[in-house]
């Protein structure tokens, strides 16, 4: 079965600083999803990556999938308190049947 | 509906009690998924439906867990004789076509005391 490892597990940054979260897979990634979760709430879809080398951006968040499709990174530029939460990467099983998630990265942004 | 709706949002159950958690997916979505998220961890897959057919239930932790989707829309996750280790957030997601993006509900936080 596919396993996803996220690093770091938790992160505290000063407002305005840049940060990067990594997601490494034990197998080739066919579809890689990034979600954000506020405490006690559901998952909010951020981006989906499928092609090796693909990069997508939304506002100040950029996600990349490496050429070998086994690692993805999420980069936040000029972080704000509103970016605080848990970031989860999820991998598709290539049949659209289910997502396997990493353990999450807990981000706190200090004003 | 506009999104995936789950109810109740919070449930406190006494150990040994049966509970039923409801998921109302986005109208017309073929695929429906249930996940369990323990505190401080990522969601873990429980089961998957395509229309009314339960295609994968490999993630259900024990025979106390049962899920159904009789008419291919609303789904219910039932947990019998709840135990403390069942305490978690239960998330529901739907997608259509299968694999083309997953929309999650807000979850049901179950606390077993």
How far is residue A69's CA from residue A77's CA, in Å, rounded to a whole number? 23
CATH class of B15-97: mainly beta
pLDDT tens sequence across B85-105: 999 999 999 987 755 678 999
Which residues in chain B are closer than 8 Å to A97, comparing Cβ atoms? Answer: 31, 48, 55-56, 98-99
The domain spans of chain B are 15-97
Please name which of A21, A2, A1, A18 lies closest in space to residue A10, comparing C-alpha atoms: A21
Backbone angles phi, psi at A59, to 5 degrees: 55, -120
How far is residue A13's CA from residue A37's CA, in Å, rounded to a whole number? 18
When CB atoms are compared, the residue of B41, B55, B91 closest to A43 is: B91
**Count of alpha carbons within 13 Å of A70, Cβ hemisphere only?**
7
Contact A43/B101, CB-based, under 8 Å?
no
* Amino acid B89: pLDDT: 95
Please name which of A88, A81, A41, A16 lies closest in space to residue B104, comparing C-alpha atoms: A41
pLDDT tens sequence across B5-51: 999 999 999 999 999 999 999 998 999 999 999 998 999 999 999 99
Has residue B55 got a pLDDT over 70? Answer: yes
Other CB atoms within a 10 A radius of the CB of residue A38 amount to 12
Is A92 or A77 the better-scoring residue by pLDDT?
Answer: A77
Most confident of A2-6, A45-49, A82-86, B101-105: A82-86
């Amino acid at each position: 079965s596919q396993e996803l490892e996220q690093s770091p597990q938790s992160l505290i940054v000063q407002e305005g600083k840049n940060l990067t979260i990594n997601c490494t897979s034990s197998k080739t990634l066919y579809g890689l999803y990034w979600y954000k979760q506020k405490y006690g709430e559901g998952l909010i879809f951020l981006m989906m990556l499928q092609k090796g080398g693909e990069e997508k951006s939304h506002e100040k968040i950029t996600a990349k999938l490496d050429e070998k499709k086994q690692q993805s990174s999420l980069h936040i530029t000029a972080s704000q308190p509103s970016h605080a939460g848990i970031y989860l990467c999820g991998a598709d099983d290539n049949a659209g049947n289910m997502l396997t998630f990493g353990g999450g990265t807990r981000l706190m942004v200090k004003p | 509906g506009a999104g995936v709706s789950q109810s109740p949002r919070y449930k406190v159950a006494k150990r040994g009690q049966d509970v039923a958690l409801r998921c109302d997916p986005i109208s017309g979505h073929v695929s429906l998924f249930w996940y369990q998220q323990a505190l401080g961890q990522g969601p873990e897959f429980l089961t998957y439906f395509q229309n009314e057919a339960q295609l994968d239930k490999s993630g259900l932790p024990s025979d106390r867990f049962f899920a159904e989707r009789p008419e291919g829309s609303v789904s219910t996750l039932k947990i019998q004789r709840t135990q403390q280790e069942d305490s978690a957030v239960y998330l529901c997601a739907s997608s259509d076509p299968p694999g083309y993006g997953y929309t999650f509900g807000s979850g049901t936080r179950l606390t077993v005391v």
